[in-house]
Each structure stands twice: as C-alpha cells, then as structure tokens.
Structure 1
Amino acid sequence: MKKYYQFWLNIGAWLLLMTGTAQGQNPFITGQFTADPSARVFGDRVYVYPSHDILATQGKGRVGWFCMEDYHVFSSANLTDWTDHGMIVTQNKVPWVRPDSYSMWAPDCIYRNGKYYFYFPTAAKDTTAYGRGFAIGVAIADKPTGPFVPESTPINKVHGIDPNVFIDKDGQAYLYWSQGNIYGAKLKENMTELDGEVKVLGELPGKGLKEGPYLFERKGIYYLTYPHVENKTERLEYAISDNPLGPFKVTGVIMDESATGCWTNHQSVIEFKDQWYLFYHHNDYSPAFDKARSIRVDSLSFNADGTIRKVKPTLRGVGLTDAGAAIQVDRYSSISDKDLSVAFLDTLQKFNGWKVILEAPGAWVQYNGVDFGTKQYKHIKLKVRSSTGGTVQVRLDQADGPVVATVKLAAGNNWQEVKTRVSPVRQGVHGLVISLQDGKAVELDWVRFE
C-alpha cells in the first residue's frame, strides 16, 4: 500500500504545482501532505508555513516514521482559496544540514525591519560544532514567499525542535522551542542570535511529552499554546502569563485528542479580519498512517475572562465558498443522524477527495457559507452516481428551508453530471441542505450553481 501512497503523492504534488491553487474546507491544502502549520498575517493575506510530510522509502528517511525534506508556503486572502508559492527551503541547500536527515520539522516565520525570518529545525551534519540531535536555523527573505537564503550556521546555544518566534509590543523578540521541556529566550535585533540566558518554562505539565510551543498575546495576556500527551495522544493545551517568559499558569485545553487516533497535533493561532483562528493538523488523507498529515483551520473564540473556548474540529472549516465553484459537500457542516456516510472517491487516489453517500430516504447533508453574491443563478449541477436512481432535493439554509431544486437521477454505475433549473435564490450567503427523497445509495461528489 505504501508504494501507492508514494505514487499518488507524486502525482498530486505535480498537479498542485501545475495549478498553483488549493481549495478551502478541511483539510485546506490538497495534493500533498502538510503538517505543523505556522500561520502568519502579513499585510492583507494569511501565510501558512507548514512542514511537508512525504513517505519514506529505503535510503530516503526512516520507513514508517516522519519524513520531511523541504518546506512550502501557502497564502490566502479569504481562507478559502489557497495559493502554493512553491518550495522555499530544502535540506540539501542548507550548508549545515545533514543531507540524509529528512527531518525538516515544524517551522515558523516572522517579519521584522523589512525582512522575513524563517526558522526551521533539523539535524546538523557537524555534531562536533553544533551538538547531537536537532539544531535550529534561519533563512531570510525580502518577501514572505521568498526566495529565502539560509544562514550558514544554526542559532548558537539552541538545541531542539519546533521553533516559534514572538515580537512583543515593545519590539523585543523571543524564540521558543522544545526538547523534552519548552524553552524560551530573547533574540537580538538581528533575529539570528540569542540575547541572554535560555529559560526553561518549568510551570508546564511535568509528565507526558510536550512540544510545539506557539505564543501569542491578546489584551495583555500572553498565551503559550503547546501539544501535550496527557494520556496516549497529543491534545492542544495552553498556559497564560503577564510576561512572555512567564511564569505561566496552566489554564486549559484548546482541542481534545484526535477521535480517530492521530498521535500528533500542532497549532498556531492568529487574528485575521477581527476573527481568531486555530490552525492544526490531522491525518485526513492517510487514515491508516498518522505520519502523513494534512493541515486544517477552524474558528477560535474567547470567554469574557480571556480563557479560550475549546475548539471542536470540523470538516467544513472556515471561509465562504462561491456558489459557482464545486461545493464539496462531503466537507459538511452537519449531517443526518443515520443513513449517511463519507468515503474516499478512490482508495488508491486519496488526494481526489471524498464523496457523501445518501443511503436511504431522509438522509441529508448540510453545507453552510455558500456565497451567491449578486448573481442570479439559473441552474444547479450535481456530480452523482447511483445504481438505483433516485430523487435529490436541495433546500436553502436549513432542512425546512425553501426548495430551490428537485433533481431526478437516472440509474447507472458511472458518475454523471446532472443539471436542472433552480428557483430564484436570494442574494448573499446561504447554507445548502441536500436530502434524498427516494431511492438509495446515491453517491454525491459536488454541486455547483450556474
């Protein structure tokens, strides 16, 4: 099975590079595996710097383990349409990196004084000079998409993984990283050297793995977020302080452990256009192998006292979907309690995505946040397949909302695109509810308005 993963990973990555775009919903990057998303707002766009999972083969990484050799950067102005700006750093073009390490783990990026500083961890080839284990390097660019030029040596006195950088309101920059504990230290103005002692942030849980620090500030509260293994898998937790280097008080859980057993998670938190968001990862495209992950985003909010409300992961994600685009209803907002399932379109080509299967009359799927704008659409098109045929009804907003289309499906074993007229739809943003009226085992890939 692994050879199929690798083959379709290569095909999917090629297709993504050819189109340069990826669609929203969760996971919001398609065509390649991504993990450990570090999200940043630069100007009027969100830029995400994830690690890039690939599947190890003999002689290329450790088979059955995490394997990463480069980084891409993605950006979006609306959190729906994402552009892949291509590879920005690769292990074999960094002077100090061990060329067979395949350990380009969770990165981060920050802007200062006209430059973009990209921080990344990996194994150094000169263990005498830089020590055993992981070091953390910096690559610098004039634009958030690069080209990034790596420094010739890693940051002195920093050994570990998962770098995170924070610049306080007074202009002081801080670097955080993990290696058993979570560490923090001030950075010099040049952003490539420590400015003072390294501090162990020792107020965090003493038992269980903790890693992946990401610090942000809101209304005078400093939030240190991190994955922590309380039981068997990582959950996202946070601690708060009135100082970037603590002391911190463990405060709560941002996201519970994966319900399907994905062992890792890794987060970043940003505010964009007056809304807060949590970026994280899951193994959506690789449910049988949790070392090949995919990045997600969901909304995040706060209580009146500043504590974070727990985020429940969704498939719908965030952002609006244009009514004229292919609306992937398998990334649903809500579904009926029974007689509905979601499956891969092709189990050997998982980057092709998923389908919804309406298995009996009464089954329904809801997809919120469809933007009809000011255009008057006349038709709806559905990509469907049903060996028995049936009737599908499309309603606006909710299950008892106005009917905009009733679609008759012919019986057949092949996928078909069925087009029918729609009733006038009010301008603006609506939800869609698609339900099966008669028939069974109707498979639905996408719908779009024309």
Structure 2
Amino acid sequence: MTRLALAVGVVLTLAAPAHADNPIVQHVYTADPAPLVHNGRVYLYTGHDEDGSTWFTMKDWRVWSSADMVNWTDHGSPMSLNTFSWAKQDAWAGQAVERNGKFYWYVPVVTKATGRPAIGVGVSDSPTGPFRDALGRPLVENGEIDPTVMIDDNGQAYLYWGNPNLSYVRLNTDMISYSGGITRIPLTTAGFGTRTGDANRPTLYEEGPWVYKRNGLYYNVFAAKCCSEFIAYSTSPGPTGPWTYRGTVMPTQGSSFTNHPGIVDFKGSSYFFYHNGALPGGGGFTRSVAVEKFSYNADGTIPTINMTTTGPPAADTLNPYVRQEAETIAWGSGIETEAASEGGMNVGFINNGDYIKVKNVAFGGGATTFSARVASTVAGSSVEVRTGGPNGTLAGRCTVPNTGGWQNWTTVSCGVSGLTGTQDLYLRFSGGSGYLFNLNWWQFGGAR
C-alpha cells in the first residue's frame, strides 16, 4: 500500500456473522450487477458507490469473477469516468458482452458537452480489462440511462436502455455502431403492468432493464415502480416485442430504495443478482451486490426470489494446491484491496483480528504446508490458518517479516495439520497495532 493509500484508506467494519456470504463483496460498496459467463467463470461488472455517499456518487466501475459462485476475485477498477474524455460524471449501471474475442462494456454517463446522460462503450481484449473508449464519443444520446445488451441466436445484437422510457437499437456486428434509428418500445400496461398513483407513468417499468433469451423466449427483467423499487419481468416471443407482463421476481426489500437485476445460467444452475444496503453503513446510496440461486418453473416463468444473507451453495470446489489470489474471497472482515506491484490486486490495510474466509476448499487427503506471498514494514505479524471460523481450530501459523516496503514481496511458508476433506478456510491476521502486512497470494502443499 502506498503512503497515500495509508492516509485515505477507509475500512468497512463488519459485524456480520461469519456464515453470511451475501453481499458477495464486503470491502467496497457495489451496485447494479451485470454478470457475464465466459470460459468457465462468471465475470461480474458492477458500479461502485463511494463511502459515505448521500447521492449516487459513482466515479468508476469494478470487475469481479468466480468459478464457484461463492469465492469472488477482485479485479479492481479497469474502467472509470476518466476512460471517457467526454464524460463529466455518473458512472452508473452498465453491462458487458463478449463478441469475437473482444469485450464491450456499455455504460451511461453524463456528458460534458450537454450535461445529459449518454451511453458510451468501453472495449477490451480481456474480460477484466483494462477497457478503453471504443469511440471517443457517445454511442447513443437521448438523455436516458441503464443499457442492457443481448446478442440473439442469429447474431443480431440489440442494445436496450431507458428511464423513463424504454428504447433499443440494432447493433452492427462491430458492436460500436448501429443500423436504423432509435426505436421506443410502447410501455403498455399489458406489456409492463399497471402502476397506480402516477399519471405520468402508467406502467410499472422504471429502469434497469435486463434482456436475455432462454429456450426461445425473450425476458425483460426490470426495476419496477419507484420508490422503493421491486424487480418485475415481462416476456416476448421476439427481441422487440410484443411484451407481456409476468409479475414480480423480487419484492421490495433490502434497505435500498433501488434495485437492479442480472440473470445468468452457470454450471447447470440459474442465478439472480441484485443489490441492497446490507453492509454496515449501507443504504440507498451505499449499496452492495448479492446473488441467489433459483430454478425456473416448468413453463419458463421465474419464481418469486427473496434476499438472503446465506447466498447460493458452492457450484464447485476450490483447489488449494494451486496458487490462489488473496483477493479471492467469500467473506472478508476489515480488509481492503489495492493494485499490486507484481500484477493484479493484493489484500491490504490489514489490522489485528481481520480475516478472510474462502469457501468449499478441497484439501483431499490433507495439506502439510502453507505458503503466502507477503510484504510489510513491520515485523512480528502472522497469518493464522484456521477452520470452523476466524477463531476456530488453528491448523498453522506463518510469521511475516519486515520486508522493507508494502510492495517488497517475499514468500513465507509453514507447516499445517488437520486440513483434510472439503471445508471452509479462514486466514486470520494477527500482530500489533496499525497496519500489519499485505497479502498477494497463497498456496498449500501436501497430499491431494
């Protein structure tokens, strides 16, 4: 961690029980989830609410990924308002999609030129970025927000967006231009439900559309009726309608007056992403992304889904005998992350008693050694390897030396015992007062 980071770092102090795994990120506030499945992982694109926000104060976007839906790797911020030289403010809800080996991230921002929302496109060769401005200008600009993108089976891509209206364009195969004009979808009560008490908005549609296709049916899942919002959905036989309102997906709940859906299928199951205000200090402007597993009804309808603190079961095990990034976390207490000099991110801002939980770790016949990549400016701290909880059974302890700098890395190793089968791992950090050390990665050795 840099001296500047030391000066400005703010830790989200967590009092939640160790078994809680929703929200899925605990060290920063996240919002507006947009999942993308690619090469056996879920990549999750989110907004980032600033600490202590009293408005939608958002300056960058974040990326996370998981192979098991419970341990999430922090990939940092590969795109921000500064990516778009023409953007003024409001790094709000977007969505990314892959096509022909490139990743396109559609996001709404307010422009310097007009002071109105417009949609820009970031592009990258990697799902984790860095992203660059694909156009140097907005792709579309009609004063509305919340893009969602869908590529149909025939290769035709569609970009939808809007609050208070719902519009779309047909994207060309380059994904950064479109053919024809902007088409507005009729917001009828048959298509999007009936709102009462607001003559200006007769339907339930509010914002945050999420359009996708499944088994020949097109779904439009959206934030409904402000405020507070709930999640509703409509279906259609085609990508542009006609839409039929189907009902509620997630009722109003969760201490945030907004919500935002994201739905994917992954490793044979279906998952619903949303946000709430469940973290300490959380609320309508300091939100956090969470996820639930669900099953479609036999007729393709979506069941009612409620928020939980437990989240979904693990979709896979985690292999501790290969290098695992320290920023791959199911639940973290007290820590933050930052860019590491060796690449990627590292866990930092570690104080005595902070910990990381990693779920469903497949130790097999038993681990015998533990190694960790660490950096510190103080001596005498340690990484405690535990099971059963952050204060559970101690399997081993590795001492961390003074390496001469927060980014001067060394590898420490120690023996461990009692780690067999598949169980949750807790890395608890101990030492004196102040920041103790940084952790870049870890790995076990022994039987498999």
Instruction: Provide TM-score, normalisation by structure 2.
Output: 0.66
Are 1:223 and 2:219 an aligned pair? yes
Name which of structure 1's ranges 40-49 and 154-163 shifts more when overlaid on structure 2. Answer: 154-163
Q: CA deviation at 1:251?
A: 0.3
Are 1:264 and 2:271 an aligned pair? no
Is the 1:24–1:79 Cα contact (8 Å) retained in structure 2?
no
Out of 245, 248, 265, the residue aligned to residue 250 of structure 1 is: 245
Supply the distance in 2 between the matched residues of 1:254 and 1:154 (Cα, whole angstroms). 32
Q: CA deviation at 1:284?
A: 1.3
Is the 1:24–1:319 Cα contact (8 Å) retained in structure 2?
no
Is the 2:85–2:136 Cα contact (8 Å) retained in structure 1?
yes
Out of 230, 233, 254, the residue aligned to residue 228 of structure 2 is: 233
Deviations 1:421-442 (A, max 9, x none): 99x99x5689xxxxxxxxxxxx
Supply the distance in 2 between the matched residues of 1:168 and 1:372 (Cα, whole angstroms). 38
* Shift in CA distance, 429/221, structure 1 to aligned 2, threshold 3 Å: farther
Q: Secondary structure at the match of 1:179?
A: coil
Map 1:154-165 → 2, pairs under 5 A: 154-165=138-149
Q: CA deviation at 1:199?
A: 2.5
Is the 1:91–1:97 Cα contact (8 Å) retained in structure 2?
yes
Q: Secondary structure at the match of 1:48?
A: strand
Name which of structure 1's ranges 298-307 and 198-207 shifts more when overlaid on structure 2. Answer: 198-207
Out of 297, 301, 305, the residue aligned to residue 299 of structure 2 is: 305
Match of 1:124 in 2: 111
Out of 22, 26, 33, the residue aligned to residue 30 of structure 1 is: 26
Q: CA deviation at 1:42?
A: 1.2
Q: CA deviation at 1:7?
A: 10
Is the 2:205–2:222 Cα contact (8 Å) retained in structure 1?
no
Instruction: Provide TM-score, normalisation by structure 1.
Output: 0.66
Q: What is the aligned length?
A: 335
Is the 1:186–1:196 Cα contact (8 Å) retained in structure 2?
yes
* Shift in CA distance, 8/52, structure 1 to aligned 2, threshold 3 Å: farther
Name which of structure 1's ranges 154-163 and 167-176 shifts more when overlaid on structure 2. Answer: 154-163
Map 1:4-19 → 2, pairs under 5 A: 10-12=9-11
Q: 2:222 corresponds to which letter in structure 1?
A: Y
Are 1:48 and 2:44 an aligned pair? yes
Q: CA deviation at 1:270?
A: 0.4
Supply the distance in 2 between the matched residues of 1:223 and 1:96 (Cα, whole angstroms). 33
Q: 2:261 corresponds to which letter in structure 1?
A: Q
Q: Secondary structure at the match of 1:162?
A: coil
Structure 1 unaligned spans of 5+: 1-5, 14-22, 57-62, 331-348, 355-368, 385-391, 395-420, 431-450
Match of 2:95 in 1: 108
Supply the distance in 2 between the matched residues of 1:429 and 1:381 (Cα, whole angstroms). 8
Deviations 1:269-296 (A, max 9, x none): 0011111101111111145632001111
Supply the distance in 2 between the matched residues of 1:84 and 1:38 (Cα, whole angstroms). 15
Q: With CA pairs under 8 Å and 6+ residues apart, which has the higher RCO, 1 or 2?
A: 2
Is the 1:185–1:245 Cα contact (8 Å) retained in structure 2?
no
Q: 2:45 corresponds to which letter in structure 1?
A: Y
Out of 129, 136, 145, the residue aligned to residue 119 of structure 2 is: 136
Is the 1:268–1:280 Cα contact (8 Å) retained in structure 2?
yes
**Percent pairwise identity:** 31
Supply the distance in 1 between the matched residues of 2:62 and 2:329 (Cα, whole angstroms). 25
Are 1:315 and 2:302 an aligned pair? no
Structure 2 unaligned spans of 5+: 13-18, 194-201, 321-327, 334-350, 369-385, 394-416, 425-448
Q: CA deviation at 1:163?
A: 0.7
RMSD, aligned CA: 3.8
* Shift in CA distance, 169/327, structure 1 to aligned 2, threshold 3 Å: closer
Out of 163, 170, 183, the residue aligned to residue 199 of structure 1 is: 183
